[in-house]
Structure 1
């Protein structure tokens, strides 16, 4: 049987058994997720104080964060960005974000002398890293499927 065909016949059942492998503990999580990244740590002023909720022992203050909706693996390797980043209010202690009106965001940015473009900047890894890793993985799989040249000269045992 031809080697590339044999490799393909072995590869495809392995590919389609990923859902079966996840039942054994190897979980491949692919999907959409929200990523909140701290963009600016605002000063702890009364203007940025979040109203107390039951169970809080100390004051919580608002910070600025970027919220992006990504599609990727294991919520750490974004393959592509579904929604461009936007600024939201963020509580670091509870890991909650708050949608703020545009006027409130503009006033917070102007009061703290912040650059909105720098706050909304996405790192190279988040923008292209997942695509590069996915392409490298696909290239590695394709390279493994390419047949090798056979040695034309037969190897004979030698006495030492």
Structure 2
């Protein structure tokens, strides 16, 4: 294994110039919702249908989601910054003020998200200081047609209208 000389702050700054979508990953932990905000969600495979994301190893929410063995990817709309702020909070108040329903797969689906993708855990692989989580899609739906929330250079945002 080679030793890198990449400065972590510079790495974060450069990669922060690449905009990403924003998702909230949810699961139930002993009947209560658990969740985390991610900007690393991606489509992986059509056959079988797989999606992936990369939780930080230091996350306190990830072990709760992993324990559940299934999760829902809630694709955030540009008007749902309040949901991201709430779910990003530490402690048990993450879902105060966040409206959701429990799906047939016992997963919290956040109300008014753009899309919901319900998955069962397929694999979890170590990837440096993160985990690479693959989920096999059980059910998915587009909830509403709206602009997605974006994350760029440490800030939430949305698309600007083209002139």
* TM-score in terms of structure 1 length: 0.24
* TM-score in terms of structure 2 length: 0.23
- Which structure has the bigger radius of gyration? 1
Bigger fraction of residues in strand? 2
